[in-house]
Structure 1
């Protein structure tokens, strides 16, 4: 994604991640995209708005995390590292996964550096695990 488009909604279908291994991408099962995701997300029995609200609450419970942009079914967050204050961006979109179902697309990336030491993968996995657990509890 070009720096000029950074404030615009992210199009997950045309996303081109950087060459550096400092990002993690999770896309819904069956979602066609130009970028190969690290994992596929499953649908959950929630409406899109409810799925996004649930995930948003989980993400904002994490330290040093704030909302940058909310637009429709998409949310962009920033999370700063504890020691050096490096900023990672996380874009989440709740997508239709069938009647009464939603699935999440998540793109988490470090803004600087070459390698992220698995931080983005760990963040996405932790938040998705909490999201699926919350969805089953409803």
Structure 2
């Protein structure tokens, strides 16, 4: 009987935390990169242009793409539309700020990704990307791998 109670409790928690309504959390809201402060846990990864995140030290500096903002935005949207288990949760009117979620394959744990496309120089563009896990302390490098794969796929898509 005790096992049944435990199983029901675990199933209830799992359904509540990971069901379709679970994305209605503060994690699913756009962030302000200028005021972003990183958590102390290692389950996050930030790539940003120099000076874009004055309160948070990026893990890497964003590349600059020799394409306009709209082209970079379209490439990011296309790449995430083709990637497994990605979903757009929120987008600004011009599409340059977006919140995405990607869930793990088996247990469906959500990781939230904020992206902001920015102009760079005369005709270029760049982006800030912040990927973080909702659950757990360590992510075993998953957020870093996700951001690096996203950037590589975007480079391939725009031919840079």
Tell me the TM-score normalized by structure 2. Answer: 0.77
What CA distance in whole angstroms lies between the structure 2 residues aligned with 1:86 and 1:5?
Answer: 16
Contact between 1:25 and 1:38, CA under 8 Å: does it hold in 2? yes
Whether 1:126 and 2:154 are equivalent positions in the alignment is no
Count matched residues: 135
Q: Which residue of 1 aligns with 2:6?
A: none
CA deviation vs aligned residue, 1:91-132 (integer Å, no higher than 9, x gap): 111011111111010000000111111000001001101112
Unaligned runs of 5+ in 1: none
SS of alignment partner, residue 71 of structure 2? helix
Bigger share in helix? 2
Write the distance in 2 (CA, Å) between the matches of 1:32 and 1:24.
Answer: 13
In 2: Cα distance, 1:37 partner to 1:58 partner: 22
- Answer whether contact 1:65 1:78 (CA < 8 A) is retained: yes
Cα distance, 1:135 vs structure 2: 2.2
Partner of 2:102: 79
1:65 paired residue number: 86
- Alignment-derived partner of residue 45 in structure 1: 66
Task: Check conservation: 2:36, 2:53, Cα contact below 8 A.
Answer: no
The TM-score with structure 1 as length reference comes to: 0.89
Q: Secondary structure at the match of 1:21?
A: coil
What is residue 35 of structure 2 aligned with on the other side? Answer: 14
Partner of 1:98: 121
Structure with the higher fraction of residues in strand conformation: 1
- Give me the whole-angstrom Cα distance separating, in 2, the residues matched to 1:6 and 1:84: 18
Residues 64 and 4 (structure 1), Cα distance of their counterparts in 2 relative to 1, 3 Å cut? closer
Aligned counterparts of 2:71 and 2:39: Cα–Cα separation in 1: 31
Larger radius of gyration: 2
Determine the C-alpha separation between the residues in 1 that align with 2:115 and 2:53.
Answer: 16
Higher mean displacement: 64-73 or 24-33: 24-33
CA deviation after TM superposition for structure 1 residue 37, in Å: 0.5
**2:17 aligned residue:** none
Alpha-carbon distance in 2 for matches of 1:46, 1:53:
11
**Structure 1 segments (4+ residues) deviating >4 Å:** 3-8
